[in-house]
Amino acid sequence: MSLAKDFTSAPQSAGGCRKKPELLAPAGNLEKLKMALIYGADAVYLGGKSFGLRAFGGNFSEKEMADGVQFAHARGKKVYVTLNIFPHNADLEKLPAYLSFLADIRVDGLLVSDLGVFSLARELAPALPLHISTQANNTNWATVNAWQKLGAERVVLARELSRAEIAEIRARSTVELEMFVHGAMCISYSGRCLLSSYFTGRDANRGACAQACRWRYGLVEERRPGEFFPIEEDERGTYIMNSKDLCLLPFLPDLCAMGLDSLKIEGRMKSVHYAASVTKVYREAIDAACDEAQPFDLRVSWLDELQKVSHRIYTSGFFSHVPDADDQIYASASYEQSTDFIGLVRDYDERTQMATVEQRNNMKVGQEIEIFQPTRETFCQRLEEMTDEMGAPLSVAAHAQQIVRMRMKEPVEEYAIVRRHREEG
């Protein structure tokens, strides 16, 4: 289902923007945290080395987390920390000290899903707001209100909810509500998966998911052990649990009119490019959806931008329809994107029009490049000249994170992303 089709069939609300929701972006490491906030997020969510559900997402040391909180608070932004594993007894041993640390650095909220963790956090860090993770399967207003009575300040809704169900929950509850609007979809209910643990011993509910839903599968008959019968959609096989990615960009006016408190982007394991690009698109779109002076216009530039980062084909998920065969990808588990992130602007000299760029992928003189910026417009140019830090001419920047200087045809901002279209190779 295309975004354009979703948008034209979307039941747009005529009630206007009840409140501008918070834009909440993922931060897999300190650099991604900075990029998400610089590109327009109101808040970020992140995990430490323990207690979160992204064991392989980079995650933060205690010093990095403290630095991230300081960076965010200096800009009037917020940081939420995930403690949303389903812990075993041994997992709880280090929790009191960790809660004390999080209270000391003054994070803005904790994301929890387990009742025991919730209870300990209430007891040991009473000043920290508690948000109930989507992992807790929050699919109805009674559950939402029960968590509020226990002391939760916010509940993250399950992805498996329709627009009508979300609207009813909002109408029958007063607690803050958060929901995912963009990113990967899990085949298991609210992400509570047993496949990874069964196949690999890596427990998805303790942060170590092996993404078994993306693997290729075949058929084995009970009385014929060892005989593999392929299930083929085409010569590459089939991926029977491989969901498309969620994108609710076309529905933002409706979401803002419903009075949701926070709209969340999935992707702590995604790239710096993803953190910046998707955040900026949703920042501009939310602002436009809440601008009562003019009607919301789904810009082609936003849709194009979402194609430039790594993603699977997009769907509106459960929000607009009951997912069917069209919401799965059967031919491949791979991602697609139309551009490559090749450099990050560290400085710009207006006098010489030269930008200092940290290389993130191979760059060559003569390539067409695109400059994507936190607040200024995107522009394209040819990479006409490039030097090293000492001013020596370069024809190619091939070393990881090599510092180079290049002339820009327009002024550029710090943290601007330099990229090239994939056909430029």
Could you tell me how many residues make up the chain? Answer: 425
Residue 376: CB atoms within 10 A of its CB come to: 13
Are 332 and 239 in contact by the 8 Å Cβ rule? The answer is yes
pLDDT given at position 97: 95
- Of the candidates 195, 237, 189, 235, the one whose C-alpha atom is nearest the C-alpha of residue 213 is 195
Domain locations along the chain: 3-189+242-327, 339-424
For residues 371 and 379, give the distance between their C-alpha atoms in angstroms, rounded to a whole number.
Answer: 5
Instruction: Tell me the pTM.
Output: 0.85
Name the more confident of 243 and 329. Answer: 243
- 339-424 domain in CATH 3.10.20.30? no
Give the mean model confidence (pLDDT) for residues 328-335.
56
pLDDT tens digit sequence for 35-79: 999 999 999 999 998 776 555 556 899 999 999 999 999 999 999
Confidence of residue 425 (pLDDT cuts 50, 70, 90): very low
pLDDT tens digit sequence for 188-221: 555 556 666 656 766 665 556 666 666 666 667 7
Beta-strand relationship, 78-83 and 109-112: parallel
CATH architecture of 3-189+242-327: Alpha-Beta Barrel (3.20)
